[in-house]
Structure 1
């Protein structure tokens, strides 16, 4: 029999409707499972079992009266959920992963939290992230080191580190992360879960800025689609959000022709950054072959960005972060991770011309990515060139002067605003997950979900989800 913590959100909602399960018993079971895992994973922040049970009891009462909280025909009432700690929930401080932050309770829910609360999601707490979300790592000066449930000596990735680890470990079915260069896709790939980085503006978020999105992080494509139907609802506070569309998120099966004639580009060389290691390359190429066998037309595609583009972005981000950190009192500056401090230190001598040219590379990367993808319906690539690395490191190379060598496949599609998903496509010989990236045209978020669902059905049996060491 499937354990309650392993049930999908859709399964839980069906069981609530039939009264086969109640939100109270499910929330109790998930919290007990979290208690078994958390001493090893350290994936949570502000875990609040008491408040979760208060919300679960209120949900149980609504289901008993036949009145679950519903918006637009969709409910999450009673489903255990967690949000990355940089997504504000009223009354909970946001450390942003760093000990340098002064802890002040959030005044209001950010848009993703507000949308989920409106439909009755049970908030168990928040999930961890590294300092300012600037690492693809579970390393933080505020949170204990977050680890990968598939191998506790490995990194879960980041910056949505806790969300990916928690989803893989069974901390409830619904998690939400944020992404500006790969921060939902990289940890999803290294933890073997599914995620969608949506088109910029598809999910309202606060604060909005270039490249930044929130995205669902779940074990299944269908649960992410369910979350999209909630998270994509409008919120005026995001000045960069797209006009709301009534998208049929639950329609994940492709039309009668299926994959026949679908044009897919296969990008195995990003154009810069770390080389793709052999096991990752083989898993992604096998996935491409499965699409071909299903009728798709797969053609190779060159990398969509360049070293010059990324060096420009690096300089712009260094200056932006240097200004933020140097605005802090000296004592608080010293609490930021040394790796981050060393990375931003070059901001002190960058010229205005260098920063402006760096900023302009965001547009150059955007244009190049869109042009390269234009001949295709979708593009496939590795998410990361390497599998999960040592838990204690800040990045695969652990070099603050080369911090972005592993994001060459992900960052272009933040700049181009295209939807991009990560779905597990295999395992290394040591059992570590390998992520396949599926990229769609701008605004075709549903198409990416549908292609991911098609692959989910044809990829074959998956390894059992990891269990706590004590079990």
Structure 2
């Protein structure tokens, strides 16, 4: 099998791959081999993957090839390469959660996203990296090698879906699965210039559901995220918080720019807490808002709705949760966790019950504030992050464990309100680094967010070429 496409095989999207497989113009084995070669070329400098096993990927691809040749593919994703984040269990593989503190014990089950993708014939080429316990917006880990941003190797890719964001931007195949509890999909998507959808809470089932936590697709295009949603947004009774089985035609994401016309869109430029907004980010988002308004949207700027108390409350509650986990460890195990994480968590040891109750109450306050501020609008657009990506070896943008969440003021409210929210590239800094636009929708309107994203994707400013590895090493 062969194809005449001008794109490298690793860079083909789901629709292109599906059409080429169906026409017998391309084999999943050829594509898996191309992705393997891309990863091998880039990993010495990027460190986005864990459990990169080229032969296992080729074995899966050969099985997919046989199904296509027999005219019996398992679905749209059959033979399509995918990576899955460390913290989403895959049967037979250890799940270190980014930290050297845990023993490497093979998991006995597939997490719901992994199970659905395997059932649909996707080819798992690697797991991707994350920071310790998923509690950092960086690729710094006591277990994984330091993950870097392919646009600038001195910068972080973001986190906690660090490897997934870097892998998508670097062209490690079209599909990558990450997770998000306060911005862990959208922050790396913004800093790596890719697309992601943090879906409505419960839309993609998880085997370990938790308040605000979602899994989601990380891809180069809206189309690839939508088509991954068709696979992973399926029922799994292990998740007691899952939404009813969706009656959603995910292929309906494909709209033209006229979709924007007449939509009521809120422009949210002040998070109300955290770091000040970088002027380059502010300029890119305001320029984008004008472009969306010119396409027919009715734009209205809204005031901040998060507060410093809300952000601090979330921080203190999460500190106590991690403090309890860490205190249960033997001292020699605890010592293996990143010092930044230990200092952050152990600072909660003296918090009173009343203080933690008040901290927990801020999640509810943020939920109420987000819904009240956005309910009159079809969509809300805003920066994803107030800052450009930090140095790669920094644990967080402030690099201060006492100020760890100053960059999530725009993203975290939608985890608490359970609304879908995407990140899509909308511009570049003077240094050529990507800048993400957040698009949030009403709860359950995941398809609407994909459609608005797709409409914007067609009218946004020209995009820079994707980064390439340094082949002069």
Q: Of 65, 68, 71, which aligns to 1:66?
A: 71
Task: Write the mapping of 1:41-440 to structure 2, written as runs, cut at 5 A.
Answer: 41-70=46-75, 75-254=76-255, 258-440=259-441
Deviation at 1:406, TM superposition (A): 0.5
Q: Is the 8 A contact 1:304 1:412 kept in 2?
A: no
After TM superposition, the structure 1 stretch with the greater mean CA deviation from structure 2, 346-355 or 161-170, is 346-355
* Structure 2 CA distance for aligned equivalents of residues 328 and 151 of structure 1: 37
Q: Structure 2 length normalisation: TM-score?
A: 0.98
* Structure 2 CA distance for aligned equivalents of residues 252 and 54 of structure 1: 32
Deviation at 1:254, TM superposition (A): 4.3
* Structure 1 CA distance for aligned equivalents of residues 286 and 411 of structure 2: 18
Match of 2:43 in 1: 38
Match of 1:311, SS? helix
Deviation at 1:465, TM superposition (A): 0.5
> Deviation digits for residues 77-128 of structure 1, max 9, x if unmatched?
1111100010000000000000001110011000000000001000011000
* Structure 2 CA distance for aligned equivalents of residues 294 and 224 of structure 1: 23
Q: Is the 8 A contact 2:274 2:408 kept in 1?
A: yes
Match of 1:6 in 2: 11
Match of 2:28 in 1: 23
Q: Is the 8 A contact 1:150 1:191 kept in 2?
A: yes
* Structure 1 CA distance for aligned equivalents of residues 382 and 434 of structure 2: 15
Match of 1:316, SS? helix
Q: Is the 8 A contact 2:427 2:461 kept in 1?
A: no
Match of 2:448 in 1: 447
Deviation at 1:302, TM superposition (A): 1.2
- How large is the RMSD of aligned CA atoms in angstroms? 1.0
2:469 is the counterpart of 1:464: no
* Structure 2 CA distance for aligned equivalents of residues 99 and 304 of structure 1: 38
Match of 2:253, SS? coil
> Deviation digits for residues 39-59 of structure 1, max 9, x if unmatched?
000000111111111100000
Q: Is the 8 A contact 1:80 1:174 kept in 2?
A: yes
Deviation at 1:264, TM superposition (A): 0.4
Q: Structure 1 length normalisation: TM-score?
A: 0.98
Match of 2:3 in 1: none
Q: Is the 8 A contact 2:257 2:459 kept in 1?
A: no
Deviation at 1:314, TM superposition (A): 1.1
Match of 2:348, SS? helix
> Deviation digits for residues 247-302 of structure 1, max 9, x if unmatched?
01111244895222210000100001111111100111111111100110101111
Aligned residues: 467
Match of 1:250, SS? helix
Cα gap change, 1:192 to 1:240, in 2 (>3 Å): same
Gaps of 5+ in 2: 1-5
Q: Is the 8 A contact 2:267 2:302 kept in 1?
A: yes
> Deviation digits for residues 346-393 of structure 1, max 9, x if unmatched?
221000111111111111110100000011111000000111121010
Match of 1:347, SS? coil
* Structure 2 CA distance for aligned equivalents of residues 320 and 187 of structure 1: 24
* Structure 2 CA distance for aligned equivalents of residues 44 and 465 of structure 1: 19
* Structure 2 CA distance for aligned equivalents of residues 380 and 401 of structure 1: 29
Q: Is the 8 A contact 2:366 2:416 kept in 1?
A: yes
* Structure 2 CA distance for aligned equivalents of residues 439 and 354 of structure 1: 31
Q: Is the 8 A contact 2:265 2:379 kept in 1?
A: yes
Match of 2:172, SS? coil
Match of 2:423, SS? strand
* Structure 1 CA distance for aligned equivalents of residues 15 and 259 of structure 2: 24
Q: Is the 8 A contact 2:48 2:164 kept in 1?
A: yes
* Structure 2 CA distance for aligned equivalents of residues 255 and 38 of structure 1: 37
Match of 1:429, SS? coil
* Structure 1 CA distance for aligned equivalents of residues 444 and 255 of structure 2: 17
* Structure 2 CA distance for aligned equivalents of residues 469 and 359 of structure 1: 46
